[in-house]
Structures are given as C-alpha cells and as structure tokens.
C-alpha cells in the first residue's frame, strides 16, 4: 500500500472514531460572523471589544507546542492564525483536535481576538466544531501539484495549492462584471438564445452534432448566437448582447478550446465606425479597471514579456495591405500560384483545393501573430465574410473588422448584411464550398432569410472572445489558465 493510501486509510479510521464519539463530521449548518478579510480590516476594534466571533474555513497548518496548538484557518478572503490553549477548552476538545483534526479539514471556530508577542493577529479559541472531515491530504501536504495537465484536470486542487490561480479567476469575474456594466450603460439588453440549434450558423466552423430523441432529429451545439440575435433586431430590439458558451469541433491549443466563452452584441442603426469607437471605449475602460484592481499605472500592458501600448486611437490597416506589407503580394491581383508562394513563404499549410480567399486567410493567420499593439484589421475579402455588408466602392471587400492584440484575434465585427437576396446567394455559395469538401462553411438557413425579408435595419455586430481577452489581461500563457475546467485529452493509465 502506498503512503498516500496509508494516509487515506488512517483518515477513514479517524472518521469512524469521530462518529463513534457521537460527533457528526458533516453537519448541515454552521455559524459565521464574517469573512477573515473583514475581520482583519476591523481587527483593532474587534480586539478591544473582546466579543466572541465565529469563523469558518479550512485548516491549512497545524503547529503543536505542548499544551498549545497553533493553526492557520483559511477562507476565500484570506487566512488567520488560531490558537488552541488546553486551559481554555472544555470536554477534551483540545485532545480531540490534537488527535482527529488534519490539514484540509473544515472547522467552525469560536473565540476572541488578540495579538501575539510576535505581532501575529490571532483568534484565541474558546470552542470549535468539525464541520467537514477531509479524507485526502492537500496537494502541498503530500504530492504537490506541478504537472500542468494534472492542474487542469483537478482544478479544485490547483486552486487550493496556487493562490495566484485563484486570483486570476477572481480578476476575470471582476473584469467580466465591468463589461456587463459598460454595455448596460451603453443601452444594451442582455438576452439568452438557444445553445441547442436545428441549424448551426454565425461563423465558419465545424459543429458538434447531437440527437434529440423525442423528435428523432439531429441537433447542433451552437458555434455562435449571431443569427438568433439578429432575429431579435428584426423583432424590434435595438441593442442586445449575450455572454455564453459556444462549441466548435476544432483543435485544442493555447488559443482554442472546443467549449469557450463568447460575447456577441448587435446595435440597430449603427455602422462599422460605431464599432471602432465602442471597442476603443470598452478596451480603454477595461484596461483602467484592470489597473485599478492590480494597483498599476501607466499605459503599457505586459503580456508574456511583450509590451503592449494601450494608447488611443488604435491602429487600423486593411487586410490586403497587411499581407502586401509582409509578403509583397497584392491579393487583389495575384493568382492562386502567387498566393501559394506567399503561403510557402509564411509556412502556412494549404491544400491544392484552396482558393484565393482561403489562401489569403491562411497567410493572414500567420501574419497576425506579429500584431502586438491593439490593431483593427479591416476590409476583408467577400468570400471570407458571408454575413458582412459589401463596401460600396469596393464590392469585392466587406465592411468587416477584426481587433487583434498580442498577436491574437480578440474581436470580429461587421456592418451586418441585411439584404435577404444577397444573403441567400452567399449561403448558396457556402453550400457549394461544403459540397466540395470544405467543412468550415455556413449552412443555408431559410428561416433566417425569411426573417431578413421582414426587414432588419442597418446593424453593427460584434463578437468578443472572452477567454482570449481575459488571458491577455491577466497575463495567462494559455486560455486553459483562464477556463476553470478546460477540455483535456483522456489521461493515460499508469503501466
């Protein structure tokens, strides 16, 4: 039997002994007077009052000194030293703690506050109660938690062992709350649209397929909420947004997880220029909120040793100019062979079936990693943007933009296509690509076409990758660090 198995076995014996003593190791209720952070904030007045307080939390350390036991109690807000004095406790409570309480157990502690000779703020225990017996040792107590994949698979242990990980997720929540508040102030209404859809759409991606037994039909996990949100614009709402999960049956890397968080918003009577202004206002406000939370100053954001200049206004560059500057190839006049050479130069993988638009997109995806400072890439080719309006002066291009930062795509926005006839033709073109073997295409959605036929006003739409944005703001090397439970490959059993 391994040492870990021995520890678990010993704790189970303690659990059985506790129950024989008539103690419930998993009681329903407990008493608490406040968080540890609030206690520490008001410690001086609480010490003077000598009022008894109840604290709850997990035992993180035990230090025995004869008739004294020092321990550290931790809740989500912080930690505080406890002192168990044998002379202060009754009914063998001191001996019970000494014999049956282990690291990782939760207790309800009652006592008064004082400061030790060494200056440590402490709760002198007058009574306590075990409220949860832990049967396994904490990571730092036993085997540690340094393996990256193990951290992701057992995030609860990662959170216990690594305070910086917990802080990152708390910061994510605060920044997400700021985004919601910002959109509400801008007049947006938060809505919910279906995740389980009869047709997938709103992006070029391969979906997950499932089956609804009661109707005996195949369904799809949404790849984007776009077409439903646009239906709401048709229905009379003028500013809507949704924050939720999307699902795309694609690869897993530092920027991709098959399940991810997305924000999409749509504003009637607005154009692409409105999106430029909205994004600059949102990102600059979000950056100020981040600096406030992290007690930082200045206009530079450090991400993985890269310095990002957050000064306004953000740079704008056209899709074709970006490629021309990097490769010397003008995609507007180049043929397929020239684009293949440019793809080879950028070490972009392609197939002989890939057309000019696909090749240009593959080249762009290699170039964008060099865009460190916030940048708007605009005027994408029509074939890459089946849901965006055409430019009136350059109909082979669209009124689309992508917002990039630290080499990653953060946002994708359009002056939305609202011509039902044009939209139908583009869906038909996508269907032809799908018949030719291209998996990442848009399906024909007749109901959406019908909705557009009732009339959708000029509309600006925007999608924001929440996980990527939060990863950069919190200096996370991968979106796996900002997703509580990222999808992982099945672990291999030890041989």
Do 122 and 165 reside in the same domain of the chain?
Answer: no
Q: Does 365 fall in a domain?
A: no
Sheet hosting strand 375-378, strand order edge to edge: 189-190, 239-247, 259-268, 459-465, 408-415, 400-405, 375-378, 315-318
| Contact indicator for 93, 128 with CB cutoff of 8 Å | yes
Q: Does 13 fall in a domain?
A: yes
Pick the last residue of a domain from 117, 132, 147: 132
444 by Cβ neighbours in 10 Å (0-12 / 13-18 / 19+) ranks as middle
Whats the size of the chain, residue-wise?
A: 495
Alpha-carbon span 427 to 283, nearest angstrom: 33
Do 222 and 290 reside in the same domain of the chain?
Answer: yes
Do 167 and 127 reside in the same domain of the chain?
Answer: no
Closest CA to 246 of 173, 195, 172: 195
Question: pLDDT tens for residues 10-49?
Answer: 999 999 999 999 999 999 999 999 999 999 999 999 999 9
Do 109 and 209 reside in the same domain of the chain?
Answer: no
Do 55 and 168 reside in the same domain of the chain?
Answer: no
Distance of CA 413 to the CA centre of its chain: 20
Q: Does 412 fall in a domain?
A: yes
Which residues, other chains included, contact 174 with Cβ-Cβ below 8 Å and sequence gap of 6+? 289, 293
Alpha-carbon span 133 to 73, nearest angstrom: 14
Do 110 and 181 reside in the same domain of the chain?
Answer: no
Q: Please give the tally of structural domains in the chain.
A: 2
Do 263 and 377 reside in the same domain of the chain?
Answer: yes
- Backbone φ, ψ for residue 270 (5° rounding): -120, 160
The per-residue pLDDT for 495 is: 47
Return the structure tokens found at 210: 């499932």
Pick the last residue of a domain from 86, 112, 132: 132
The b-or-e profile of 405-426 (16+ CB within 10 A means b, else e) is bbbbbbbbbbbbbbebeebbeb
Q: Does 494 fall in a domain?
A: no
Do 252 and 378 reside in the same domain of the chain?
Answer: yes
Alpha-carbon span 82 to 57, nearest angstrom: 11
Q: Which domain holds residue 463?
A: 161-314+373-481
Return the structure tokens found at 17: 């002994």
The per-residue pLDDT for 430 is: 85
Handedness of CA 415, 380, 348, 314 (dihedral sign): negative
Peptide bond connecting 313 to the previous residue in cis, omega within 30 degrees of 0: yes
Alpha-carbon span 90 to 492, nearest angstrom: 51
Q: The domain that contains 256 carries what CATH number?
A: 3.30.930.10
Q: Does 495 fall in a domain?
A: no
Q: Does 460 fall in a domain?
A: yes
The per-residue pLDDT for 494 is: 52
Opening angle at CA 56, ends 52 and 58, nearest 5: 140
Do 125 and 165 reside in the same domain of the chain?
Answer: no
Alpha-carbon span 162 to 171, nearest angstrom: 15
Do 210 and 310 reside in the same domain of the chain?
Answer: yes
Ramachandran bin of 465, using left for φ above 0, alpha for ψ from -120 to 50, beta for the remaining angles: beta
| Contact indicator for 219, 247 with CB cutoff of 8 Å | no
Q: The domain that contains 30 carries what CATH number?
A: 2.40.50.140
Question: pLDDT tens for residues 62-77?
Answer: 999 999 999 999 999 9
- Reduce the DSSP state of residue 372 to 3 states and report it: coil
Q: Does 385 fall in a domain?
A: yes
- The pTM score is 0.90
Which residues, other chains included, contact 405 with Cβ-Cβ below 8 Å and sequence gap of 6+? 308, 371, 372, 373, 374, 375, 472
Alpha-carbon span 17 to 176, nearest angstrom: 47
**Low-confidence residues in the chain, pLDDT < 50:** 141-142, 495
- Tokens 């959708």: give the residue: 456
- Tokens 């659990």: give the residue: 15
- Backbone φ, ψ for residue 285 (5° rounding): -65, -40
Do 231 and 175 reside in the same domain of the chain?
Answer: yes
Do 75 and 219 reside in the same domain of the chain?
Answer: no
Q: Does 177 fall in a domain?
A: yes
């Amino acid at each position: 039997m391994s040492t870990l198995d021995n520890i678990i076995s010993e704790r189970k014996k303690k659990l059985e002994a506790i129950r024989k003593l008539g103690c419930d190791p998993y009681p329903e209720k407990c008493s608490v007077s406040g968080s540890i952070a609030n206690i520490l904030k008001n410690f001086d007045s609480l010490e003077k009052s000598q009022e008894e307080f109840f604290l709850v939390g997990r035992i993180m350390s035990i230090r025995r000194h004869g008739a004294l036991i020092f321990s550290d109690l931790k809740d989500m807000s912080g930690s505080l030293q406890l002192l168990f004095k044998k002379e202060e406790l009754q009914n063998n409570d001191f001996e019970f703690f000494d014999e049956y309480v282990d690291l990782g157990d939760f207790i309800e502690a009652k006592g008064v506050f004082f400061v030790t000779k060494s200056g440590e703020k402490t709760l002198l225990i007058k009574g306590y109660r075990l409220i949860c017996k832990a049967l396994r040792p904490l990571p730092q107590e036993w085997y540690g938690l340094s393996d990256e994949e193990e951290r992701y698979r057992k995030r609860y242990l990662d959170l216990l062992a690594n305070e910086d990980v917990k802080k990152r997720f708390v910061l994510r929540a605060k920044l997400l709350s700021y985004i919601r508040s910002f959109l509400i102030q801008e007049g947006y209404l938060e809505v919910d649209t279906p995740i389980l859809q009869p047709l997938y759409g709103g992006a070029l991606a391969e979906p997950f397929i499932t089956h609804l037994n009661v109707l005996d039909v195949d369904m799809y996990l949404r790849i984007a909420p776009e077409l439903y949100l646009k239906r709401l614009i048709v229905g009379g709402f003028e500013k809507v947004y949704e924050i939720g999960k999307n699902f795309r049956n694609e690869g897993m890397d530092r920027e991709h997880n098959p399940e991810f968080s997305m924000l999409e918003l749509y504003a009637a009577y607005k154009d692409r220029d409105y999106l430029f202004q909205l994004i600059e206002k949102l990102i600059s406000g979000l950056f100020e909120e981040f600096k406030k939370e992290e007690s930082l100053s200045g206009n530079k954001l450090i991400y993985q040793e890269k310095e990002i200049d957050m000064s306004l206004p953000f740079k704008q560059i056209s899709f074709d100019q970006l490629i021309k500057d990097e490769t010397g190839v003008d995609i507007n006049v180049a043929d397929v062979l020239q684009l293949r050479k440019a793809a080879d130069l950028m070490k972009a993988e392609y197939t002989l079936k890939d057309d000019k638009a696909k090749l240009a997109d593959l080249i762009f995806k290699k170039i964008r990693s060099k865009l460190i400072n916030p940048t708007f890439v605009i005027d994408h080719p029509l074939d890459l943007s089946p849901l965006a309006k055409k430019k009136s002066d350059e109909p082979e291009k669209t009124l689309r933009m992508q917002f990039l930062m630290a080499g990653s795509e953060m946002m994708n926005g359009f002056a939305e296509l609202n011509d039902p006839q044009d939209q139908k033709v583009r869906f038909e073109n996508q269907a032809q690509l799908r018949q030719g073997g291209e998996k990442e295409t848009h399906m024909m959605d007749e109901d959406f076409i019908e909705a557009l036929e009732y009339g959708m006003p000029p509309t600006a739409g925007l999608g924001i990758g929440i996980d990527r944005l939060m990863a950069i703001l919190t200096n996370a090397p991968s979106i796996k660090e900002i997703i509580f439970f990222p999808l992982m490959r099945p672990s291999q059993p030890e041989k």
